[in-house]
């Protein structure tokens, strides 16, 4: 008998228990079979010829052993063509570390497959994909890339290397950078990023707090800025602050080396979470996979690759990255990322169809969110923020960035 005691749910906040089998509700059993609970009505069958409707949240332990349960589909669904809970498994590699889903829907002869692959195969697949993306969009040196030491951005390095002409001197025109500022960015992450950059022959700038301050012409340390920002907006905002500073540093390095391209490792769920947040709140979505920010194109080569696949390219690096994660994030950010990861849970690749469809619609309607420069600064605004909140943030930034000509 298989027990679940060996399974441990591990989060940055620590481990959490997993539900025992007898505690699973009917809707959870449906989800385990890749079936949406809202498509079914649950009935308890006492055995006397009657049916008693019960909530879909009923657990089997609440149903007498002598009674049966019927889960009745409430629509004319061709379950045989969907084959939602059956798939072929293809073991491509002897020691796989990840599963790549290839599910088809809406076809009479749909074939659902799962390919089990190892990290070597994944690195080849993702590197080729990044290289093809950069060629498609004519991304030429000089190139700046943010490499954090985590799975997402690590995969950029080999992709850029494959994109460049073999034997050319273009590698000298690639500058990768990693920020180091505890507790947000530990030094060990920079060491991992450095190993990858050295292997590819790329420049690697490790930016400590004093380096960041000098690069951006700051009056004070970014550590002081973070402490003040956290005091005003809460310590759970570290992800927002980190994204802000990475973007600022990356674009400044672009200015230094006369590059128009800043490559960032935003993965599928990153882009989808941002897209869903904008749509749910009635806002125009931000452009992807290319986003113009003043004179720099922010380029997202792995925008359509799931985070789990990117992390599996470098399993040991990713494991270290998970252990180093700061145990803080806002409830809103947790929620939107949870939703983004749920989209593909029942229907793998649905997120890609959704993002591609919205992108085509935005292109046709010229509907992407416009970013408006804030005069005298490298900052941009969407126009969606509250005036008072924006004024407070700008007043704080004015003291740390004396060269910015804020009015």
Model confidence over 285-319: pLDDT tens digits? 999 999 999 999 999 999 999 999 999 999 888 88
Residue 42 located in a structural domain: yes
Number of domains the chain is built from: 3
Does some domain include residue 59?
yes
Same domain, 142 and 73: no
**Best-predicted range by mean pLDDT (101-115, 116-130, 378-392):** 116-130
Residues 151 and 73 in one domain: no
Domain match, 263 and 241 both: yes
Rounded Cα–Cα distance for residues 141 and 30 (Å): 51
Is there a domain that residue 252 lies in? yes
> Within this chain, do residues 148 and 210 fall inside the same structural domain, yes or no?
yes
Which pLDDT value is given to residue 80? Answer: 74
Cα separation, 87 vs 213, whole angstroms: 53
Does some domain include residue 22?
Answer: yes
Q: List the one residue out of 202, 190, 205 whose CA is nearest residue 158.
A: 202
- Among 77, 94, 129, identify where a domain stops: 77
Average pLDDT over residues 148-176: 86
Q: Are 209 and 339 within one domain?
A: yes
Say whether both 53 and 110 belong to one domain: no
The whole domain housing 112 covers: 81-117
Helices (H), 16-64: 26-32
**What pLDDT is attached to residue 112?**
81
The structure's pTM equals 0.92
Whether residues 18 and 108 share a domain: the answer is: no
pLDDT the model gives residue 351? 95
In a domain, 289, yes or no: yes
The predicted structure's pLDDT at residue 107: 64
CATH code of the domain containing 145:
3.40.50.620
Domain of 72, CATH number, reads 3.10.20
Q: Does 123 map to a domain? A: no
Q: Rounded CA gap, 354 and 342, in Å?
A: 13
On whether both 107 and 159 belong to a single domain, the answer is: no
- Return the structure tokens found at 358: 């919205």
Residue 186, helix vs strand vs coil: coil
Does residue 332 share a domain with residue 204?
Answer: yes
- Please write the tens of the pLDDT for every residue from 42-64: 999 998 989 999 999 999 889 99
pLDDT score of 349 more than 90? no
> Which residues, at least 6 apart from 337, have a Cβ–Cβ distance to it below 8 Å?
269, 273
Compute the average pLDDT of residues 229-248.
92
Residue with more model confidence, 322 or 392: 392
Cα separation, 159 vs 302, in Å, equals 10
Same domain, 193 and 336: yes
Q: Assess whether pLDDT exceeds 70 at residue 83.
A: no
Answer whether 301's CB lies under 8 Å from 130's CB: yes
Distance of alpha carbon 143 from alpha carbon 258, whole angstroms: 9
Pair (88, 205) in one structural domain: no
* Residue 84 pLDDT exceeds 90: no
Residue 85 and residue 72 share a domain: no
Report the Cα 18 to chain-centroid distance in Å.
24
Q: Which pLDDT does position 354 carry in this prediction?
A: 95
Question: H/E element holding 161?
Answer: helix 151-163
Whole-angstrom Cα distance, residue 259 to residue 256? Answer: 8
Residue 1 has pLDDT above 60, yes or no: no
Is residue 403 assigned to a domain? no
DSSP string of 92-139, one letter each residue: -SSS--EEEEE---S-TT---EEEEE-HHHHHHHHHHHHHHHHHHTT-
User: pLDDT at position 85, please?
Assistant: 65
* Residue whose entry in the numeric block shows the structure tokens 């126009």: 383
Using DSSP, state whether 36 is helix, strand or coil: coil
């Amino acid at each position: 008998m298989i027990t679940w005691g060996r399974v441990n749910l591990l989060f940055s906040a620590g481990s959490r228990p997993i539900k025992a089998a007898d505690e699973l509700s009917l809707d959870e059993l449906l989800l385990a079979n890749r079936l949406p609970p809202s498509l079914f009505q649950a009935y308890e069958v006492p055995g006397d010829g009657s049916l008693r409707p019960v909530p879909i949240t009923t657990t089997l332990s609440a149903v007498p052993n002598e009674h049966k349960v019927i889960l009745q589909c409430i629509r004319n669904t061709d379950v045989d063509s969907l084959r939602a809970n059956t798939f072929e498994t293809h073991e491509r590699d002897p020691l796989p570390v990840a599963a790549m889903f290839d599910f088809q829907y809406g076809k009479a002869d749909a074939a659902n497959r799962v390919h089990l692959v190892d990290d070597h195969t994944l690195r080849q697949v993702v590197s080729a994909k990044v290289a093809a993306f950069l060629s498609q969009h004519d991304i030429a040196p000089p190139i700046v890339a943010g490499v954090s030491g985590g799975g997402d951005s690590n995969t950029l390095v080999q992709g850029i290397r494959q994109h460049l002409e073999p034997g050319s001197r273009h590698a000298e025109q690639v500058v990768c950078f990693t920020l180091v500022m505890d507790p947000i960015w530990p030094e060990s992450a920079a060491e991992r990023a450095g190993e990858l950059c050295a292997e590819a022959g790329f420049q690697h700038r490790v930016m400590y707090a004093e380096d960041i301050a000098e690069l951006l012409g700051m009056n004070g340390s970014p550590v002081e800025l973070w402490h003040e920002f956290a005091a005003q907006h809460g310590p759970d905002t570290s992800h927002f602050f980190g994204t802000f500073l990475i973007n600022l540093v990356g674009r400044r390095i672009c200015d230094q080396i006369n590059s128009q391209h800043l490559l960032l490792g935003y993965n599928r769920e990153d882009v989808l979470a941002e897209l869903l947040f904008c749509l749910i709140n009635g806002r125009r979505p931000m452009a992807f996979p290319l986003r113009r920010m003043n004179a720099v194109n922010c380029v997202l080569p792995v925008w359509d690759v799931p985070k789990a696949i990117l992390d599996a390219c470098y399993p040991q690096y990713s494991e270290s990255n998970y252990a180093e994660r700061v145990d803080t994030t806002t409830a809103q950010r947790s929620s939107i990322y949870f939703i983004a990861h749920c989209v593909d849970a029942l229907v793998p690749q649905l997120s890609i169809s959704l993002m591609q469809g919205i992108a085509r619609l935005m292109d046709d309607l010229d509907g992407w969110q416009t970013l408006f420069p804030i005069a005298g600064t490298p900052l941009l605004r969407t126009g969606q923020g509250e005036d008072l909140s924006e004024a407070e943030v700008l007043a704080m930034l004015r003291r740390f960035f004396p060269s910015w000509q804020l009015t």
